[in-house]
Amino acid sequence: MAQTTEISSMEDIIDVRDIVARIESLEDTEDEDEKTELARLTELMDDLAGNGGDEQWRGVWYPITLIRDSYFEDYARELADDIGAIDSKAGWPNTCIDWEQAARELQMDYTTAELDGITYWYR
């Protein structure tokens, strides 16, 4: 089986497909640290189960992207640029936008989950 990387709550963005791959790689482990990691990732997936529809795993739908709370404002800026709501190359009006408020309003469409005591947002 391919080597997978430990899922860290230090990441700004976590792809649920990486969590799935990591869980699958840990399922037959005998190592106690890896069993602990498997338990925390399984708990996260249990929290996410049925709350989204981007990734199906074992018959259940999951959101595909988790955004760290401390990164959400930057995520909102990137999303606004990606969807063409702003021109990231323009100074004005970007310098006038209250990105903290924009992020809060965007979060109304998102739900939270916890990984190692860190809040992640998803939809």
Domain positions in the chain: 13-122
Which residue type sits at 95?
T
Q: 32-48 vs 16-26: helix axis angle to the nearest 10?
A: 140
**Running DSSP on this structure, what letter comes out for residue 5?**
P
Query: Which residues make Cβ contacts (< 8 Å) with residue 70, sequence separation at least 6?
Result: 12
Residue-level pLDDT at 56: 94
Tokens of 39: 């338990």
What pLDDT, on the 0 to 100 scale, is given for residue 1? 47
Judge whether 121 and 110 are in contact, CB under 8 Å. yes
Whether the Cβ atoms of residue 22 and residue 39 lie closer than 8 Å to each other: no
Per-residue pLDDT of the chain (123 residues; tens, 9 = 90+): 455 788 999 999 999 999 999 999 999 999 999 999 999 999 999 999 988 778 999 999 999 999 999 999 999 999 999 998 988 788 888 788 899 999 999 999 999 999 999 999 999
pLDDT recorded at residue 4: 78
CA angle 11, 88, 100 (to 5 degrees): 55
pLDDT of residue 2: 54
